[in-house]
Amino acid sequence: MARPKRQEARRTQLVEAARRAVVERGLVDLRLGDVAERAGLSSGSVLYYFPTLPALLQEVQREAIGRFCTAREEAVSDEPDPRRRLLAMIDSGLPDGPGDELAFLLYELGAFARKDPAYAARYIELYQRQVAIYVGILEAGAATGAFRLAGDALTIARNLVTLEDGYGLYMTMAVSTYEPAEAKRQIIAYATAVTGCELP
């Protein structure tokens, strides 16, 4: 039996191998052997640490969501101006383009959320964390007089996250429908309309 530290290191190695495999192959063609090969292990060894491939991919999803949320929180944490915070938040929520690995992982693993409650719960948490950041920015802007909100902050925040998700999905497809700059312009246009504020 592996010792706890070694076991933890091996699990981390397998999560990283699975992440690479998802990015390189996508979910449709992904097999346990793909992960094992990238980790330099047998499929049986992978199953010692994770009972199924979906269980391993749950860890990939958890890590990706954590990275994404942390990056968004850090993007706005040091900016006191609500207008600039709103812009930074919008910018941090969109993929850089079709090659954005983190965005690809989040969208690709989202396929499991349609049938697996555990995956769905993590995406709900992801959505709620992003909405909460937006609500904080919108309410702060309204309190200082920078924003004149055209509705309640929660509804506006939900719409902003949904717009990001929609544009992001089309930006990360094999044939991209939107360029990052255009998607950002469209979301800023909505944000300008609902905050009554020309964003800098």
What residue segments make up the domains of the chain, in order of their start? 1-51, 57-195
Question: d(Cα 136, Cα 140) in Å, to the nearest integer?
Answer: 6
Q: pLDDT tens-digit profile of 104-122?
A: 999 999 888 888 899 999 9
Report which of residues 175 and 5 the model is more confident about.
175
What would the pLDDT profile of 59-73 be if each residue is shown by its tens digit?
A: 999 999 999 999 999
Alpha helix segments (H runs only) across 97-116: 101-109
Architecture of domain 57-195: Orthogonal Bundle (1.10)
Q: What is the mean pLDDT of residues 42-48?
A: 92
**Assigned token pair, 149:** 């909100």
Examine the pLDDT at 2 and tell me if it is beyond 60. no
The residue whose two tokens read 């981390």 is 12
What does residue 122 show for φ and ψ, rounded to 5 degrees?
Answer: -70, -35
Say if residue 1's pLDDT is above 70.
no
pLDDT of residue 4: 66
Handedness of CA 186, 110, 71, 97 (dihedral sign): negative
In CATH, what class is 1-51? mainly alpha
pLDDT of residue 146: 96
Q: What is the mean pLDDT of residues 150-175?
A: 96
Q: Which whole number is the average pLDDT over 38-50?
A: 93
pLDDT classification of 161: cutoffs 50, 70, 90: very high
